[in-house]
Amino acid sequence: MSVHKEIRKVTTHVLLEMKLRGEKISMLTAYDFSMARLVDEARMDVILVGDSASNVMAGNETTLPITLDQMIYHGKSVVKGVKRALVVVDMPFGTYQGNSKEAVQSAIRIMKETHADAVKLEGGKEIIESVNRIISAGIPVMGHLGLMPQSIHKYGTYVVRAKEDEEAKKLISDAKLLEEAGCFAIVLEKIPASLGEKVSSELKTPIIGIGAGGGVDGQVLVIHDMLGITQEFSPRFLRRYHNLAAEIKGAVGAYIEDVKSKDFPNDKEQY
Ligand code: KIV
């Protein structure tokens, strides 16, 4: 008998089973090998190589500047660190909105070059042709509705979306379209909790929320936010599990002090 415990890889079907039995889905972003390995070893269900890499890794104001090559670089690094979690890579702005042929080519590049399990796109009706074509190519798609950061210049603000009836109705109809197209899960960002719960109860597709309340099928956060590495970003939905910014600055400060005082390296720390 093998002494190694078999690792059961999380698949899109596993997520569906989790929704059916009422087990919540955990999802977190990661952008590099070392962090992805830790997140996977902690038994995260889904790891998202989010285009939030544009903000937290590259220091951009928005997610718009990140390129397909950069997302592929992050995706490749993450996949190498993951054994169990389902890995989803965000399709960056400008690689799927133009036309569905370009969309499927971008998605194929992501899958071929990163070896990830799926891609994520923002939008409903407007991008449904791209979603259909990518799924037809055999690539699992995660949808993303509500606050869609790639459209920030259209909204002009990051406030809660779909508070009014008309926008809420459009969101529900978009979610149904994405389900019909065959999306295996949908992210709902920053919408009223009652709307999140409604969408989750009306759809068979697992719904993962970020600021969409507790009535959805799972939760996602940006790892830099929940670990307290980013300090300036404090929306109501964010729970900080650590204050890593203070810990990192403390450790770095101690190292500087030790170097300056000639305490580091000591006799045992040299050859
Ligand atoms: O890019 C990202 O990190 C995301 C999450 C906020 C869902 O899309």
The reported pLDDT for the residue numbered 216 is: 98
The reported pLDDT for the residue numbered 5 is: 66
pTM over 0.85: yes
Spatial contact of 74 and 30, defined as CB atoms under 8 Å apart: no
Q: Cα(23) to centroid of ligand 1, in Å?
A: 22
pLDDT tens-digit map of 190-234 = 999 999 999 999 999 999 999 999 999 999 999 999 999 998 889
When pLDDT is averaged across residues 167-187 and rounded to a whole number, the result is 98
Q: Is 189 a catalytic residue?
A: yes
Q: Cα(120) to centroid of ligand 1, in Å?
A: 9
- Does residue 197 sit in the same domain as residue 267? no
The reported pLDDT for the residue numbered 3 is: 55
- Does residue 130 surpass a pLDDT of 60? yes
- Does residue 131 sit in the same domain as residue 252? no
What is the chain's mean pLDDT, rounded? 97
- Does residue 26 sit in the same domain as residue 76? yes
Q: Cα(271) to centroid of ligand 1, in Å?
A: 46
Q: Which atom of ligand 1 is nearest to the CA of 208?
A: 7
- Does residue 126 sit in the same domain as residue 259? no
- Does residue 216 sit in the same domain as residue 260? no
**List 189, 202, 232, 257, catalytic entry:** 189
- Per the rule left: phi > 0, alpha: psi between -120 and 50, beta: everything else, 7 is beta
Rounded CA gap, 27 and 183, in Å?
17
Residue written as token pair 């450790």: 251
Nearest to 148 by CA among 104, 178, 118: 178
Rounded CA gap, 33 and 64, in Å?
23
- Does residue 129 sit in the same domain as residue 187? yes
- Does residue 71 surpass a pLDDT of 60? yes
- Does residue 1 surpass a pLDDT of 60? no
Q: Which CATH number do you get for residue 235?
A: 3.20.20.60
Residue whose CA is at the smallest distance from ligand 1 atom 2: 50
